[in-house]
Structure 1
Amino acid sequence: MSEEPTDDQGAHPRADGREYRIGELAKAAGVPVRTLRYYQERKLLPPPRREGRIGLYSEHHLARLRMIANLLERGHTLEGIRELLSAWEQGRDIGTVLGVEQAVTTPWSTEVPVTMTLDELAALFPGGVGPDAVERAVALGHIAVDGDRVTHWSRRQLDATVTLVRAGVPLDAVLSAGQELQRSMDDLAAMFVRLIATHVVGRLDDREIDDRHLGELTETLARLRPGAQVTVEAGFARAMDRQVRTAIDQLLARLATP
C-alpha cells in the first residue's frame, strides 16, 4: 500500500511536534519521494514512527534532510554524509568533525585555470599543437577540452611552458618533463601524507578521541599545510642552485678546453 498522501491528508500533530506523511515530508524538504526512500535505504534517514501501515516523520527527519542537502551542496558524497551523521549521533560536534574534514580536503593548489579556444592555444605554440599533442596534454591532466574550448589547469604553468618553448625546448620535451615531474611530486606528496597519517593522526586513540582532540587535529593540519609547501619550494630552489652551478661549471670547462 502506498504512503503517498492525498490532498485532504493533513499532518498529524503530536504533543512533541508536527509529524508528516512521506509525501508531506518530501514536499517540506524539497526533495522527491523516491530520494527520501533512497536516503532511508542508505540509512541516512531513520525509519518513521508507524501507526498501522502509515509512516509518520518528525521535525527531526526534516532537519536531517535539510542538513543532508546542505552537505551535498558543499560537495560531500552520500557515504561521507552518512559517516558525518553517524559521528553526530555518537555525540560529536558536527562542526568540529566538518572542520577536520575541511582541513584535510581543502585543495592545496591555488592555481588559476585559463580557458581559450583551440586556435588561441595553437597560436601560443606555432606548429606544436597537433592532435597528438592535445591528446597527450589531456591524458596528463594539463588541459580539458570542451568542443572548441580548452581549459588549462594553471595559468602560471601555461606561461612557464610558453617561455620554455619560445626558448627552444620542444613542446613534446616539456610534456615529457612534466610527466616525470608529476611522478616525483606524487611520490613526495605520498611521503608527506604518510608522515601526517603516522605521526599526527595515528597517535590518536580511537577510544579516547573527543571534540577537543578533533579541534586540535584541525589546527595541526592547518599549521602543517604551509610548512609542507615551503619545504618543497625551498628544497626545489636549493636543488636548482646546485644543478645550475654544476651545469655552468661543465659549460665553462668545455669552453676552456682548447
Structure 2
Amino acid sequence: MEELAEAAGITVRTLRFYRERGLIPPPRREGRIAWYDDHHLARLRTIAALLERGHTLNGIADLADAFDSGRDVGEALGLVEPTEETPVRLTPEELADHFEGEVTPENLAKALELGYLTVDGDEIVHVSRRLLDVSAALVREGVPLSAVMEAGGRIREHAEALADLFVEVMLKHADGAADVERLRPLAKSVVDAELSMAMDRRLAVPPPGGAGRD
C-alpha cells in the first residue's frame, strides 16, 4: 500500500479512504501480503484527473463501479447517446498502440467525459470506428490528442445544433420519424458539402500581388 501511494503521489490515508469508498478494486492477497499492480495505479491516476476536472467522489464512485461491473461508463456519466457508428473493442494495450504516448490519465478522463470511450468488462469500447481512425491519423500527423478531443467537443456543439435544425425541418415537412431516418443521409450530404466549401474558402490563397494586377 505504501509503495502504491508513493507511486500515485497520494498519502496512505487517502488510499485507504479510496479503498473504503470502493474507488479502487481490492488487492490480490497472498497470506498477509496485499499486492497492488499497474491497474490500481492507472485507476488512481484517472481518479486524480477526474477530480481536477471537477467530478465529485460520488460521481467517480459510479464510474469505478462501471469499470468493475462492466457497465457502460458513458451511462455512469450520463453521456450515452444513440449512434449509428460502429463501436470498436480494444484492450488497453491496443488503445495505447493507436495513440502512442498520448494515452495519459488526463486524456483518458476527457475521452470518458466526452463519451468516446466506455468499458465492457476487461475491454475498452470506442464508440466510433471512424472517429478512432481519424483521431489516430491526426495524432500521427503531429496533432496532440488533447487538441483533437478539444476540437471534437467544440464540433459536437455545432453538430447538435445542426441535428436539431434538420430534425425540426424534416418533422415539419415529412410524415414522421420513419421518414426522418430515411432522409438522414441527405442531411449528412448537405453538411459534408457545406463543410467542404467552407474549407475551400478558408484555404483559398489570393494570387500574388492581388487580383486584377499584372
TM-score normalised over the length of structure 2: 0.53
Tell me the equivalent position of 1:121: 95
Q: Structure 1 residues 218, 243: CA separation in 2 closer, same or farther (over 3 Å shift)?
A: same
2:123 matched residue in structure 1: 149
**Equivalent of 1:231, from 190, 196, 213?**
190
- Check whether the contact 2:138–2:148 (CA below 8 A) recurs between aligned residues: yes
Partners of 2:129 and 2:178 in 1: how far apart?
Answer: 31
Q: Counterpart of 2:143 in 1: which secondary structure? A: coil
Q: Deviations over 1:102-159 (max 9, x none)?
A: xxxxx98542111111121112212210222111101101110235411111111111
| 8 Å Cα contact 1:112-1:153 kept in structure 2 | yes
Equivalent residue letter for 2:187: A
User: For residues 174 and 184 of structure 1, what CA distance do their matches in structure 2 show?
Assistant: 16
Equivalent-residue separation in structure 1 for 2:115 and 2:181 (angstroms): 27
Counterpart CA distance in 2 for 1:181 and 1:242 is 19
Are 2:95 and 1:136 aligned? Answer: no
| Unaligned ranges ≥5, structure 1 | 1-106, 201-215, 254-258
- The alpha-carbon deviation at position 169 of structure 1 amounts to 0.5
Structure 2 unaligned residues grouped into runs of 5+: 1-80, 210-214
1:140 & 1:108 partners in 2: Cα distance?
14
SS of aligned partner of 2:193: helix
Deviation at 1:226, TM superposition (A): 2.4
What TM-score results when the alignment is normalised by the length of structure 1? 0.44
1:192 and 1:228 in contact (8 A); partners too: yes
Q: What is the CA–CA distance in structure 2 between the aligned matches of 1:219 and 1:175, rounded to whole Å?
A: 33
Shift of 1:181: 0.4
8 A Cα contact 1:122 1:128, kept in partner: yes
Paired residue type of 2:159: M
Matched, 1:196 2:170: yes
| 1:138–1:145 CA contact under 8 A, matched in 2 | no
Structure 1 residues 199, 121: closer, same or farther in 2, change over 3 A? same
Length, aligned pairs only: 128
Equivalences for 1:181-220 in 2 at 5 Å?
A: 181-200=155-174, 217=176, 220=179
Cα distance in structure 2, aligned partners of 1:171 and 1:237: 24
Alpha-carbon distance in structure 1 between the residues aligned to 2:125 and 2:178: 34
2:193 maps to a residue whose letter is A
- SS of residue matched to 2:119: strand
Q: What is the RMSD computed on CA atoms of the aligned residues?
A: 2.6
What is the SS of the residue equivalent to 1:128? Answer: coil
Secondary structure in 1 matching 2:100: coil
Residue 167 of structure 1, CA deviation: 0.6
1:167-224 deviation digits (Å, cap 9, x = unpaired) = 1100100000000000110011111122234444xxxxxxxxxxxxxxx546743553
Cα deviation for residue 234 of structure 1 reads 1.4
